[in-house]
Every structure is written in structure tokens, then in C-alpha cells.
Homo-oligomer: A and B are copies of this chain.
Amino acid sequence: MESIRQRRTIRKYQDKPIPAQLMEQLLATACRASTMGGMQLYSIVITHDAGMKERLAPLHFNQPMVREAAAVLTFCADFNRATHWCEINKAAPGYDNFESFFNASIDALLVAQTFCTAAEDAGLGICYLGTTTYEPGKIIDLLRLPRLVFPVATVTVGYPAEHPAQPDRLPLDGIVHGETYHDYTDDDIKRIYAYRESLEENKEFVRINNKETLAQVFTDCRYTRADNEAFSKKLLDALRRQGFI
């Protein structure tokens, strides 16, 4: 699976559409992903229209990929379709709860990642927008997602206009645990993160943010407690609104 080993996230795209037939093939391939009880608890909303990209971009903090990618795919956990199916078949659905939300989210993420792998294998580039979980309420409004539908991942896709270096990864023995979780000592953590911290680009990252350590860039600039707590509230509010809690 060389295309996975060689992959890198692509944030700059050529101004070139994805042929409709290729997109359809990729979507059909993605739907071969495992799904709970064969239920396919997801929907995929595709944004091609420039006007819609313009309205979607601010909901993703104006990351330029939203406007520049050939297509933006919002993968949604969806118990609306299955619930409707139950309702017209004398069956009493019970999917307006957190367990069902989480199961449908898993389905949506497996299909999203399978789409990405297939797209990259076909020569396209992708980027996940982590911002989807920050403003779910606004995305729900714009994409008109009904009750029991929730956006869990957004992917921009197009023909690559860059070939960035592959980012580093932590050593495998810092990720994988045999039989039970072996919690880390301070020395383990130092060893696992040593290479990452030694990279010139990360040292530069610390300097330009006026920080002392790389970890502080994450806690103080990129993923702060205040933001995480505010986003948690919005996420839970949106889950309530969509009927999942």
C-alpha cells in the first residue's frame, strides 16, 4: 500500500475539477467501508458551488482550502435516514441517544478515511479540517442538516499543486502497547518526543510564538483550554439540538 506510506496532506490545489465519474467511483469505493450492522449510518454532503464554498469558508476559520479545493466533503453521522425507514415500516426506532450518535460517527469516519485513501491512490490530494467540531451548529444551518444528522469530518479534495515534505511521526513503540497499556514514565515521554522537538521547523515554531517549549505552542496557541472548553459546550449544544442527547 505504497500510496498510504507516501501520503502527505495537501493544502494547495490546482484549479482543475475532479471528473464526475471519478468522484462517483471514489464515493462508491468509500461505501465499501465497514459499517455497523450494514446500516450505513452516514451521509456525505458535497460542496462544489463557489457561492457555497464562500459561505462555508468562515465556518472553517477561513482556511484557504475550502475556497480553493475542487470539492469539499462534509461527512455526517446520520440516523435520520434509518429512523425514517423504521417509521414507515411499523418499527419503533430508538436512535435519539448518545450511543447512536457515537456509532454513527464511527461509521462516518470510516467512510471518510476510506474515501481519502482511495482519492490519494487516484492521484488526488486531501486535507481534513479539524474545525468541523468547532462550529457544528453553523455547519448544520448552512448544510441544512435535519435532526439526527451531525457533521463529524470535513475533507477538501483536489489535484495537488504542492508536494510538501512528509511530517514526522512519533516512534511506533510510543504508540503501540502489548496486551495492556503501559503508562509512560517521564523518560519515556522525553524519548518519544525527542526527535519531534529536535526538528528545525519545530524549533522555529517555538521561536516565532515566543515560547519556551514546543508543548507550550500547543497549549498556549493552537489548542488552548479556553478554546477546548468553549468548543465542548458548542459541540454538546449542537448534539442536543440534533436530538442525540
Quick check: A106 and B34 within 8 Å, CB to CB? Answer: no
- The count of chain A contact residues (Cβ–Cβ below 8 Å) is 113
* Separation of A113 and B186 alpha carbons in the complex (Å): 31
Contact B128 A178 (CB under 8 A): no
- Per-residue B-contact encoding for A45-60, CB less than 8 Å = 1, 0 else: 1111100100000000
Instruction: Collect the chain B residues with CB atoms within 8 Å of residue A105's CB.
Output: 105
Q: Which of B49, B127, B229 contacts A97 (CB 8 A)?
A: B229
Complex interface bits, A94-119 against B, C-beta within 8 A gives 1, otherwise 0 = 11011110110110011011101110
Q: Are B130 and A37 in contact (CB under 8 A)?
A: yes
Indicate which residue in B99, B142, B167 contacts A38 across the interface (CB closer than 8 Å).
Answer: B167
Closest chain B CB from A54 CB (angstroms): 12
A213 within 8 A of B: yes
Determine which residue in A43, A52, A85, A223 has the highest number of CB atoms from chain B within 10 A of its CB, and name it: A85
- Judge if A4 is at the interface, Cβ distance under 8 Å: yes
Interface residues of A in 222-245 (CB under 8 A from B): 222-226, 228-229, 231-232, 235-236
Of the residues B4, B43, B112, B214, contact of A177 by C-beta under 8 Å: B43
B225 pairs with A118, CB closer than 8 A = no
Min CB distance A60 to B, Å, is 14
Interfacial chain B residues near A93, Cβ < 8 Å? 219, 225
**Smallest CB gap from A116: residue in B:** B34
Is A220 at the interface (CB under 8 A from chain B)? yes
**Apart from the given pairs A40-B175, A100-B228, A143-B181, 7 other A-B contacts in the complex at a CB distance below 8 Å:** A28-B169, A32-B166, A37-B130, A44-B175, A91-B218, A95-B223, A97-B229
Give the 8 A-B residue pairs with the shortest CB-CB distance, closest first: A94-B225, A89-B215, A91-B215, A89-B213, A113-B113, A91-B219, A99-B232, A109-B109
In the assembled complex, 5 residue pairs joining A and B whose CB atoms fall closer than 8 Å, in A order, are: A24-B172, A28-B172, A84-B189, A90-B213, A97-B228
Which residues of A are at the interface with B, using a C-beta cutoff of 8 A? 1, 4-5, 7, 9, 24, 27-29, 31-34, 36-40, 42-49, 52, 76, 80-82, 84-86, 88-95, 97-100, 102-103, 105-106, 109-110, 112-114, 116-118, 121-122, 126-128, 130, 133, 142-146, 149, 152-153, 166-170, 172, 174-181, 183-184, 186, 189-190, 192-193, 212-216, 218-220, 222-226, 228-229, 231-232, 235-236
